[in-house]
Amino acid sequence: MENFTRSYLVRSASNIALIKYWGKHSEQLPCNPSLSLTLTNCYTESSFTVAKDSRGALEFTLEGKQKEGFDSKALKLHQRIARDYPQLLDFSFNVDSRNTFPHGAGIASSASALSCLAQGFLEAIGVREQGLIGHYARLGSGSACRSVLDGLSLWGTTKLIEGSSDDYAVPVKDIDPTFLGLRDSILVVSSEEKEVSSSAGHALMETHPYAKRRFEVARENLEKLLISLKNGDWNSFIEVVEREALELHALMMTGIPSYTLMRPGSLDFIVKFRKWRLESEARAAFTLDAGPNIHVIHSPEDTHLVQAFIQDWMKSSGYAERVIEDVAGRGTRTLEGKGRA
Ligand code: DP6
C-alpha cells in the first residue's frame, strides 16, 4: 500500500427549515417532508488530514482542542460509512472543525457539522455523488442532508416534487425570482443551552396525541409553500412559514413531557413584528427552530426595513442579545486539496 497524506477543507452552511422535520422513524427517515434554506455565513469548516495507513485512526478536534461529547455523532457516522465502504478504514483521519456562529445561537450546528463530515469522509475514498453525500449526512443528522444543497432544498418523499426522496434532499427549482437571495436575520433572544435535544424532540412525536394529524398538516403546508414559491406569493409564504414555526412549538408545548421553548422575548417579538408588518407591508416572515431564537426570513429588497425594525425592537425591548445576518447560499463543498500534500 502506497503511503501518502492529503489535506482538504470542507465547508458546509447551516440551514433553517421553513417546513419542519419533527418526527422520524426507522434509520433516520422523516415522518414528513421538510423544506429549508441553506445559509452562507453560518457555516462549519472542517480541515481534513488524511493518511493512507491501515490503523484507521480517527481524531477530532474543535478549533484545535479536544472536546468531550462533540465526536459521538461523528464517530457513529464514520462507522456507518465504513460499514458500506470498508476501504474507509484504510485511512487515518485528523479532523479539526470550527463554526463561524456561536454555540446556542439557535443555529443548527449538527446540520452544518455532519454534512461537512459526511462529505469529508467520502472525499477520502473518492465518493462525490451528491445523493450519496446527502444519504450519509442524513444518517449523521436528518437536517444535515438539506445543507448539502444550495438555497432551497427539500428532503422527504412527496408526489409534488419529482425525484424527491426520504433518503436525501433534492433542490427546489420552481421558484419565482422574488424568492431568490432570501435573507435571514437571526435574533439571539437567549443563548442558554437548549432545553430539549432534537433527538428527544423527535422521540416526543412517537407518542404525541397530535402526531398523525401533524404529519398530514406538514404535507398540506408543503403544498401551499411550493405554490407560493412558484407564484411569487409573499402573503401565503408568510402565512405558511409562520404557521409551521408555531406548530412546532405547539407540538412541544402539548407533548408529554411538555416543553416551553419560547422565551418572553420570542413572544414579544412575534406580536410586535406582526403588527409592524401590517403597517410596513414588508416581505418578511418569522420562523423558529426548537429554541427561543427568531429567524426573520425576508426579501433582500426589504432588508433595510427589517433591519430598522429589529434595531428599534432590540433597543426598546432589551430582549435580544445580538443579531446575526445571513443569506441563502451554497451547499457543502470541498474547498481545496484535490492533490497530494
Ligand atoms: C427543529 O436534524 O437536528 O431543526 O435527525 O435527530 O439529528 P436529528 O435531528 P435534527 O432535527 C432538526 C429539527 C428542527 C427542524 C428542521 O430543521 O427541520
pLDDT digits (tens, 9 = 90+) for 64-98: 988 766 678 899 999 999 999 999 999 999 999 99
Q: Which of these, 299, 286, 296, 186, lies nearest to 242 by C-alpha position?
A: 286
281 C-alpha to center of ligand 1: Å? 31
Q: Do 88 and 127 touch, CB atoms closer than 8 A?
A: no
Quick one: which atom of ligand 1 is closest to the CA of 34?
A: 18
Stretch (H or E) spanning 187: strand 183-188
Please state the separation of Cα 207 from the chain's center in Å. 25
pLDDT digits (tens, 9 = 90+) for 166-184: 999 999 999 999 999 999 9
d(Cα 240, Cα 281) in Å, to the nearest integer?
Answer: 17
pLDDT band at 193 (very low <50, low <70, confident <90, very high): confident
- Ligand 1 binding pocket, CB closer than 6 Å: 17, 20-22, 28, 34, 108, 110, 141-143, 198-199, 202, 289-290
Nearest protein CA to atom 12 of ligand 1, as residue = 143
**What is the best residue among 14, 20, 21, 37 to mutate for testing ligand 1's pocket, by most ligand atoms within 8 Å of CB?**
21
Nearest protein CA to atom 11 of ligand 1, as residue = 198
